[in-house]
Structure 1
Amino acid sequence: MNYDKIGMFESERIRLKENALGKSNAKIIWFGEHSVVYGKPSIAMPLYSVDVTAEIERTAAGQQIKCRYFDGPINEMTDNLKGVRVLIGTLLDVLGNRDLPFMLRITSKIPSERGMGSSAATSVALIRAFYHLFEVPLSRGRLLELANVEEKITHGNPSGLDAATASSDMPIWLIKNEINEQISFHLSRPCLVIADSGIKGKTGQAVSLVHDNVVDEPDLAIPLINQLGEIATLARHALATSNESLLGTLMNQSQDHLAELGVSTSTLDLFCRIARAHHALGAKLTGSGLGGCMIALAANHADAQKISTALRQAGATQTWIQSFRNYDISTGEKNDNLVK
């Protein structure tokens, strides 16, 4: 894909900042895991409490990066970070200064391989930081286009959901290859509790397992896929109408269907039972399953704290509580390289 350059760097035309910052968020899939692969809708949302920060400082020479996986010259980054390396080169080309010397520091609170969109969130933070450095406006469309540079290298055929959600102020409604849009919602009191099982998710294995079920046992699997899609549609309406009780019920139904498809685990099942026993409105796995995280909807922050404590006592390696109060319900176009 070709990207139009902003213009060749000329110090008298473009005055670079000395330092720049870009942020993004983790994501969770709220509804539609696996069924999204089969053309059904899904809902994902950003997690403000789990973020990535990219900081750029201009230097006299060299292009250095420091992150949890690598510390050194960017041109010496290993192949497991090829997506990030290529994205940085693309950004410098687009912004018109391939040889710009700088130090880039990436700080991430997102655990890897938990279905929380770590690579996409890193890409979004990087893009925002470089556009901030050059003080160039960044549209949401361009942001997602550039994030796809890294995602294609890292994931092969990404749906676009991770980057769209990591860069969003509100939930994302996705139908693969058809619709990728922000949706409004109105929740004030409820909170979401996210718990890490401590077990790496197995996306490829889980997707293959569901595919085998669809092929080998279509009478069982296809109705479950269809029902997961219907649940996502009902959940969108529940979000728009503040029907938190229905949201919880739909989460429980979704978990039951995902377990029937074979992608839950004994640990995730246990976490869901514990969350419900501590007054969660609903609980389910999030992401591909076979490990990773679960989520629970609490009626208020006090309940969320009790659920979080119970899950940690049951073996969750990390928990986060996400309030909905600060979510932006505007879908208007804006400059997307503002620091989040």
Structure 2
Amino acid sequence: MKTTVSANSFAKIILFGEHSVVYGHPAIALPLYSVNVTATIIPAESGQWIRSRYFDGQIAQLGENLLGIKRLIAWILTDLNQTSSSFTIQIESKIPAERGMGSSAATAVAITRALYKYFDKTITRDTLLQIANVEEQVTHGNPSGIDTATVSSEYPIWFVKHQENEQIAFNLTSDYLVIADSGIKGKTSEAVNLIADNLITDANEMQPLIDDLGKIALQGKTALQQADSKLVGHLMTTSHHHLQQLGVSTPTLDKFVDLAIANGAYGAKLTGSGMGGCMIALVDSNKQAHELASVLQDAGATSTWIQSFKNYGHTTGDSDDNIS
């Protein structure tokens, strides 16, 4: 008799490289350990079921909005020769959907890890990313891969599309990141298409912004290595101004950025595709992080999270010991 198993993944935020990563420039992304997804596989007498905040019923009856998850599960069961097995997948997620925090990718990674563990099969990280992208290709069309790479990682990553992602030296360990949800759903496809169109119609103005976002990621990598908080903050704010010019910020995100800087943050920016979603700000202490979170909540943030940088560069202890 099979026993119940669980597996986790994390939310993600992009520190540097939004949109420019689509065009071959590097990006730096961070997993958020306290904002996670857990997929639990429970033996069932018959049928294949899923329980989540979006759907509770038979996997075969998943609707169009969860087509990526449906295809992912079908792909895995076919690969493992388990299409007739009976089980229930229970998904518990702390990640808000459509906020640029990798909700769909994190769900896909957690489900993949859990199913392979349930059927006693090992899976390499490269294979994990390839399989999880089955869902992302349905949900997002042509994803860069940065979401799956980050939500499955225990470390900050340096990401270049179609190249191997790698852990980076992260010595900025005394600071804190404050994440604020604007309460507005991000519009990934719309934002990506807007920039693509603008690069055609107004290349002279838009292309330098994309190229400079790539250069900022390179500078950010060095600043993180050298623990230069002020430079990291400056680069974050500069990135936000570039993203404003590219047309993917919103008045709410701009307000949050201004409030963060006015309240002593080293820097702040939108994170993810924009047109909604979240803002991130870099501060120098736990006390300041909580004070800023309170200010942002008073200003309309629907949720806030605080991530200590001291955890980065140290393993969080992956309980999924079948991941090699």
Which aligned pairs between 1:85-124 and structure 2 lie closer than 5 A?
A: 85-124=70-109
- Is contact 1:17-1:135 (8 Å) kept? no
Structure 2, unpaired ranges of 5+: none
Match of 1:296 in 2: 281
Give me the whole-angstrom Cα distance separating, in 2, the residues matched to 1:227 and 1:287: 17
Give me the whole-angstrom Cα distance separating, in 1, the residues matched to 2:237 and 2:6: 39
SS of the equivalent of 2:310 reads: coil
* 1:308 corresponds to which of 293, 303, 317: 293
Q: What is the alpha-carbon root mean square deviation over aligned residues?
A: 1.8
Give me the whole-angstrom Cα distance separating, in 1, the residues matched to 2:62 and 2:267: 43
SS of the equivalent of 2:89 reads: strand
Give me the whole-angstrom Cα distance separating, in 2, the residues matched to 1:104 and 1:199: 29
- The CA deviation string for residues 172-217 of structure 1, in whole angstroms up to 9 with x for no partner, is 2222223422323123211111100001111222222222332222
Which aligned pairs between 1:143-222 and structure 2 lie closer than 5 A?
A: 143-222=128-207
- The CA deviation string for residues 130-155 of structure 1, in whole angstroms up to 9 with x for no partner, is 12212322211111111111111111
Give me the whole-angstrom Cα distance separating, in 2, the residues matched to 1:328 and 1:185: 6
Match of 1:271 in 2: 256
Give me the whole-angstrom Cα distance separating, in 1, the residues matched to 2:185 and 2:197: 22
- The CA deviation string for residues 285-305 of structure 1, in whole angstroms up to 9 with x for no partner, is 011111111000111111111
Q: Which amino acid aligns with 1:298?
A: V
Match of 1:246 in 2: 231
Structure 1, unpaired ranges of 5+: 1-15
Give me the whole-angstrom Cα distance separating, in 1, the residues matched to 2:120 and 2:15: 35
Q: Which amino acid aligns with 2:40?
A: E
- Is contact 1:140-1:336 (8 Å) kept? no
Give me the whole-angstrom Cα distance separating, in 1, the residues matched to 2:189 and 2:123: 33
- TM-score (norm: length of structure 2): 0.94
SS of the equivalent of 1:325 reads: helix
Match of 1:4 in 2: none
Q: How many residue pairs are counted as aligned between the two chains?
A: 321
Say whether 1:66 aligns with 2:51.
Answer: yes
Q: Which amino acid aligns with 1:207?
A: V
Match of 1:125 in 2: 110
Match of 1:50 in 2: 35
Give me the whole-angstrom Cα distance separating, in 1, the residues matched to 2:285 and 2:319: 33
Give me the whole-angstrom Cα distance separating, in 1, the residues matched to 2:173 and 2:166: 22
Say whether 1:140 aligns with 2:125.
Answer: yes
- Is contact 2:140-2:189 (8 Å) kept? no
Larger Rg: 1
Q: Which amino acid aligns with 1:297?
A: L
- The CA deviation string for residues 283-339 of structure 1, in whole angstroms up to 9 with x for no partner, is 000111111110001111111111111000000000000112223457xxx996559
Match of 2:247 in 1: 262
- Is contact 1:138-1:337 (8 Å) kept? no
Q: 1:214 to 1:52 in 2, by over 3 A?
A: same
Say whether 1:327 aligns with 2:316.
Answer: no
% identical equivalent positions: 53
Q: Which amino acid aligns with 1:94?
A: D
- TM-score (norm: length of structure 1): 0.90
Say whether 1:229 aligns with 2:218.
Answer: no
Say whether 1:30 aligns with 2:15.
Answer: yes
How big is the shift at 1:218?
2.1
Q: Which amino acid aligns with 1:88?
A: I
Range 89-98 or range 237-246, more displaced: 89-98
Q: 1:178 to 1:138 in 2, by over 3 A?
A: closer
SS of the equivalent of 1:51 reads: strand
